[in-house]
Amino acid sequence: MTLSRQDLHRFIFSVHPYDSLLPADLADLVPLFQTVPVSAGDSIYQLGDPLEGLYLVHDGEIEITDENDIPVSLLGPRNSFGERGLTRNGMAVTSARATTDGLLLLLPRADFDALMARHSSVAKFFDRRRSDSRRGSNLATSRVETLMAGKPITCPTGTDVQSAARLMRDHRISSLCLTEKGKLSGIVTTRDLSGKVLAEGLPFDTPVSQVMTASPLTLSPSAIGSDVLHAMMEHNIGHIPIVKGGNLVGIVTRTDLTRFQAVSSAELVSAISRADTAADMARVTAEIPRLLVQLVAGGNRHEVVTRLITDIADTATRRLLKLAEAELGPPPVPYLWLACGSQGRQEQTGVSDQDNCLFLDDAVREADMPYFHALAKYVSDGLDTCGYFYCPGDMMATNPRWCQPVRVWQQYFQGWIAKPDPEAQMLASVMFDLRPIGGDRALFGNLQKKTLKAANRNSIFVAHMVSNSLKHTPPLGLLRGFTTIRSGEHRNQLDLKLNGVVPVVDLGRIYALQGRLTEANTRARLQAAETKGVISASGARDLLDAYDLIAETRLNHQVKRVNDGEKPDNFLSPTDLSDFERSHLRDAFVVIKTMQSAIGHGRGTLS
């Protein structure tokens, strides 16, 4: 199989982290890759061999095995292997073999090292992979409360065995906890029912208390994964109830441990990149809540967690674009799919909608538009199937307004800056977070820099944007309390997104506008604003600390929801926090309010 220069460029641009490179840098990089055809059974390298460089799978599957010849990964298209971080003194610590015919792209060792040295985004990506490979699943050090299934199914001890069996069948569980007034009395498993009831021919109305394990081994939520694993191995059991203050609060099973170890962002990305339908992808993205739990349990910072989760959405988008082209045929003119909102900022959590648009080459004709409308519908419908629900404000490429030639997009930005009415402010806020996902990146070109320059020079527009950014305020009440939602489903709760994260996102966007900063990620914007002097060093540190605390609190809340068997959301009851946590969260909100006040009065810094 041969690849044209254009095909090679398009493919490499579709792979992270190369999609973060500037067009000129990507153009310099592409010719350095060598094509390496492989046949099923071919050895790429063996344990202890010197590595030639970084391999990127274009087609086919590659099996990676450890020193005991046990498979550790099965890699498909867009997966990399052989990087220096996974070597020992330049020698491979694994073996790689082709399981199918395929094509690899090889970036020679010297060129890969130079790439890492020149581009921090690439270095961070591969350093993270190296860190992940060393850290493993973090099972041994993860707290039990992040592993357990919350709200376990229970029944009284007087329940008959047939009713107990039906409960287990209906809830698709392999054990049932027996309680009296919230206190754990025992546990019964499917093994108990088969070995003690069916095998002994006991009547179906036998009380479950006669076959349960009374006073079973339990652990507290503060135990760690290794405690669970060791207890299961020592006592040959597969279920451990979790008890706090004498009350049953959860249960951990061998399945929970297996699931925790199995989920990784790399595996999800790999599976999505090979999926043939949106339904196939949806089965993969359904694992995102468990991935969220694992990443937070592993001690990862919030910006790492959200970046890894966003990578999955990016991969799903690019895969859907490829599937759409396979169904619709090649595009009549070049296009670029861009994300805005949380995906654009690489800040997605366990719950996200989709915000996207299409840039089309100016050569597009009216007769070409049905193709792009069909492509947009295919991708947006696919993303919705994957759990990225449709944007309530219709900020999607399926809206003809957001599927336009580049010249029209230029007119949009010029018009919003020239006449900053409320709609223009809202649209500009969304569009300043644009990030290319798939297609011809050249179409984005220097539009961002030009727009930032023009917007920065228009003081009226900047003033309107500042005013618009102050509409979302922290939930601060009187007497050191919080202002919670007053009515509805989330009464007496805090919206950690709208009143916590969003105000900082808005501030970061204003700082980017004032400093002509091209970063889209909020944390990166705040750091860049400090470096460029847009905000003071002390103000930046305070705001970063406040943002980190709120973002971490939000993720921890979502993890708790997942462990309780519920969908993650952004609504937190202050009563779920300790006095210490409430005090610090309020302090974080005060910092944000202070920074909003400073920028609202024309002071861009906080000393």
pLDDT by residue (tens digit) across 462-500? Answer: 888 888 888 889 998 866 688 899 899 999 999 999 999
Single out the residue of 551, 558, 514 nearest to residue 535, CA to CA: 514
Q: 602: pLDDT confidence band, cut at 50, 70 and 90?
A: low
What confidence score (pLDDT) does residue 140 get? 60
**Where does the pLDDT of residue 605 fall: very low under 50, low under 70, confident under 90, or very high at 90 and above?**
very low
User: Do 332 and 368 contact (CB within 8 A), yes or no?
Assistant: yes
Pair 491, 485: CB distance under 8 Å: yes
Average of per-residue pLDDT values in the chain:
86
Distance CA 257, CA 235 (A): 16
Give the pLDDT confidence score for residue 134 in this predicted structure: 42
Residue with the bigger pLDDT between 415 and 481: it is 415
pLDDT of residue 136: 42
Which residues are paired to 55 by β-bridges? 81, 106
Per-residue pLDDT band at 166 (split at 50, 70, 90):
very high
Mean pLDDT (whole number) for 415-443: 86
Distance CA 11, CA 15 (A): 7
Supply φ then ψ for residue 243, to 5 degrees. Answer: -125, 140
Percent share of the chain, pLDDT over 70: 92
Which pair of tokens denotes residue 73? 């990964």
The token pair that represents 368 in the structure block = 């070409």
pLDDT at 594: 93
Q: Which stretches of 156-246 are assigned E, i.e. beta strand?
A: 175-180, 183-189, 213-214, 239-244
pLDDT digits (tens, 9 = 90+) for 516-533: 888 889 998 999 899 899
State the pLDDT at residue 480: 67
Task: Answer yes or no: are the C-beta atoms of 563 and 146 closer than 8 Å.
Answer: yes
pLDDT digits (tens, 9 = 90+) for 296-334: 877 778 888 898 899 899 989 999 999 999 999 999 999
Q: Beta strand pairing status for 183-189 and 71-75?
A: unpaired
Nearest 5°: phi and psi at 489?
-60, -35
pLDDT of residue 552: 94
| Between 80 and 542, the higher pLDDT residue | 542
Q: 606 falls in which pLDDT band (50, 70, 90)?
A: very low
Average pLDDT over residues 501-506: 94
Helix axis angle for 537-563 and 302-328, nearest 10°, is 70
Q: Thinking of the domain 144-259, which architecture would CATH place it in?
A: Roll (3.10)
Closest CA to 237 of 223, 210, 220, 219: 219
253 pLDDT higher than 90: no
Spell out the residues 6+ positions from residue 456 whose beta carbon is closer than 8 angstroms to its own: 462, 513, 514, 516
Decide which of 164 and 48 is more confident.
Answer: 164
Q: Look at the block and give the residue holding tokens 């220069």.
A: 5
pLDDT at 261 over 70: no
In this prediction, residues 196-216 reach a mean pLDDT of 91
Give CATH for domain 264-454: 3.30.460.10
- Angle (deg, nearest 10), helices 406-418 and 422-431: 130
Q: What are phi and psi of 197, to 5 degrees?
A: -100, -60
**CATH architecture of the domain covering 1-135:** Sandwich (2.60)
Which residue spans within 77-226 are E strands per DSSP? 80-81, 87-88, 91-92, 95-98, 102-108, 149-150, 154-155, 175-180, 183-189, 213-214
Class of residue 414 by CB neighbours under 10 A (exposed 0-12, middle 13-18, buried 19+): middle
Q: Where are the alpha helices (DSSP H) in 3-143?
A: 5-13, 23-29, 109-118, 120-135
Tokens of 33: 């890759």
Residue 30 has a pLDDT of: 92
Find the mean pLDDT for residues 388-414: 93
Residue 135 pLDDT greater than 50, yes or no? no
- Write down the pLDDT at residue 307: 87
What b/e sequence results for 100-122 when a residue is b if at least 16 CB atoms lie within 10 Å of its CB, and e otherwise? eebbbbbbebebbeebbeebeeb
CB neighbour burial string for 495-508, b if at least 16 within 10 angstroms, e if fewer: bbbebbbbbbbbbb
Is a pLDDT exceeding 70 seen at residue 90? no
Total Cβ atoms within 10 A of residue 366: 6
Q: CA 405: distance to chain centroid? A: 30
Name which of 61-70, 225-234, 388-397, 485-494 the model is least confident about: 61-70
Instruction: Note every long-range contact of 19-25, with CB atoms under 8 Å and residues 24 or more positions apart, other chains counting.
Output: 19/314, 19/436, 19/437, 19/441, 20/119, 20/121, 20/122, 21/119, 21/121, 21/122, 23/441, 23/442, 23/445, 25/118, 25/119
